[in-house]
Structure 1
Amino acid sequence: MTANFPKEVTLIEVGPRDGFQFEKQFIPTELKSEIICSLVDAGLKHIQVASFVNLSRVPQMADAEEVVSRLPESQGVIFSGLVLNTKGVQRALRAGLKHVEISISVSDTHSRKNAGVSFDQAVTGMKDMIRLARTESMGVRAGIQCAFGCVYEGNVSRERIISLIRYYASQKVDAIALSDTTGMANPMSLKQLLPTLIPECGEIPLVLHLHDTRGLGLANLMAALDCGVIQFDTAMAGMGGCPFVPGAAGNIATEDTVHLLESMGICTGVDIAGVSKCSHRLEDYLAKQFPGRMHRLMLQEGFQL
C-alpha cells in the first residue's frame, strides 16, 4: 500500500439531500426519515438531510422542515442542510439545524443556471450567509462548485478558487468542500491542483465532492487520497447529479467507496450492508435502479465481500 494512504477516512452521506432532490417522483417524508435513521444506524456520522432552497426549482425539498423535525437524537452525528441564500439559512435555523452547507460556483454560467445569480452576486450572498450563520452559532461548511471544470465554460480560474478558499479560511469555517460538479476531474488534474489548494486551507479540513459522470469517481478518490484528502461526500447507491448540468451522473456510491477503502485496510466505520438496505428500499419504491454496484451485489445469494 502507498505510504501516503490514511488509516481512516470520513464519509459524508449526501444521498438524502443531493440524491433525493434529483428525483422527480416525490419521496414521502416518512420514507426519507426512515432512510436517514437507517443511515445513522449504519455508522454514518455526517448526513446532509435537506436543501433549503426555492421550492419551485427543487420541489423534492418541500418537506425540508418536516424531515428535520423527525431527525433522531444521535450524539456525535452531524445533520446539515444546503442553503443558497440568507433566507435558506433562516429556514434551516428555524427548523432546528445546527449546521449548514454554503456553496457557490466559480463558473458564472453555472451559477446563473443553478442559483439564478452571477458569480459576483454569489460571493456577496455567500459572505452574508456565513455572517448570519456564525451570528447564530451554526456550523458552516463552505463549498466551491465546478472546481475542476465547467461544461459551459471549460477550465475555471484557479485564482478564483484560491481566492475563495482564502476567504473561507479567514472566516474559520468548519470545512471547505471542492465539488467536481460536472465530473470533469481526472486523477492527473487532481494531483496537479490539490497540492496547490490544500495548503491554502490551513488547519481546516478539505472535503471532496466527486461525481461519476465519466466513470472516474473512484479513480479520482484514489488520487485525492494520495494527496492527503481524508474526507469525501458519497451518496447511497450513487444517487444524485445536477439538474443544471447536461449529462451529469450521480455521486460516488457510498457502498462502492466503503468496499474500496475497507478492502485496502482503510477504516470508514460504515456498515455496507446497512447502507445497501437503504438503497434497495428506495429503488423498490421508485421502481428504478441507481448506478452503484456494491448494493446490487449484496443481493446476490452467496456473495461475499
Structure 2
Amino acid sequence: MNHLKSIFLFFLSISVVVSCSSDDSGDNGPMVLNPLEAHEQLNISYGEDNDQVFDLYLPANRTVATKTVLLVHGGGWTTGDKSDMNGFKEYIKENMPDYAVVNINYRLADEENQPYPMQIDDITSVVNHLQEQQDYYTISNTLGFVGVSAGAHLSLLWSYAFDVNHQVNMVCSVVGPTNFTDPAYLENNNPLLQELLDTFGIDTTTEFLEEVSPYHRVSASAPPTILFYGGQDPLIPTTQGTMMRDKLAELNITHEFTLYPNEGHGWLGLNLLDTTIKLQAFIETHL
C-alpha cells in the first residue's frame, strides 16, 4: 500500500539560485510587515492539527496589488509534504519575483479521516487566513493555484466549486485526476487505478463521484486553466486530461493543454523545461 502511494509523490527538481529574505520584527511583531523587505516565514499554523501549516514567501517592494501563488502537493491524498513543491517555489521566487508564494500542507487522509471535504476545508482555511492578514502581509486577495497529482485535483476542485469570492485568476493541474466517473477508472482492471479510486471515491455513488470531480463541478465562470499530462502515466489515464480539456473548450474557458506522449506521472529534462516556460507565461498572463 505504502509503495503504491509513494508513486504519487511527484517531485520537480529545478536548480535555481534561492534568494534570502528576512524579518526584523520586534518581540511583539510589527503591526504591518515592512513591504519594502522580503519576508519568509515557515510553518505558519492555520489550524490545530500538526499538518495544518504553510510556508509564506513575500517579495520585496510588494504592494496591495501583489498576487499570491498557492502550491498544493501530491501524494494520493494520504502522503506527501509541502517540501515536494520546493522546485516550484524556488522557480517562482527566482523567475517571477513579484509574486507572493504560499506552500501548504493539509491534513492527510487515513482510515478514520476521509480526504473530502477535509482537505478542501483546509485550503479554505488557508485562503481565509491570507484574506484576514491581507493588510499585515501587504498583498491582494487575488490567487493562483499550482497543484501536482492529488494536489492538482484539490486545486481544480477548490477553484471551480469553492471559490465563492472569485479570488482565483488561474489554476494549474500537473497530472491531476479530474473525473472519477471516467470509464477508465470505473471499468478498469488495473490495481493501481482501482486503489486511486478507492482512496478518494470512498462513496461509490455517481452523485458523490461527480461531487468530487472537477470535470463535473466546472462552470462557465471558472478561471483560466492550464493542464499538463503524461501519455504513459500508470495512475492518471490520458482521458483525465483530454476530457477536462474538452469540457473547458465547451464552456469557452481560457485554457491550455499539454500532453507529453512518452512521459509518466512526472518528468524531467526538456519536458520539465517546457512545462515551466508554459506555466510561467500562463501565470504572468492571467494572474
- Fold match by TM threshold 0.5: no
Which is helix-richer, 1 or 2? 1
Q: Which has the higher contact order (CA 8 A, sep 6+)?
A: 1
TM-score, with length taken from structure 1: 0.36
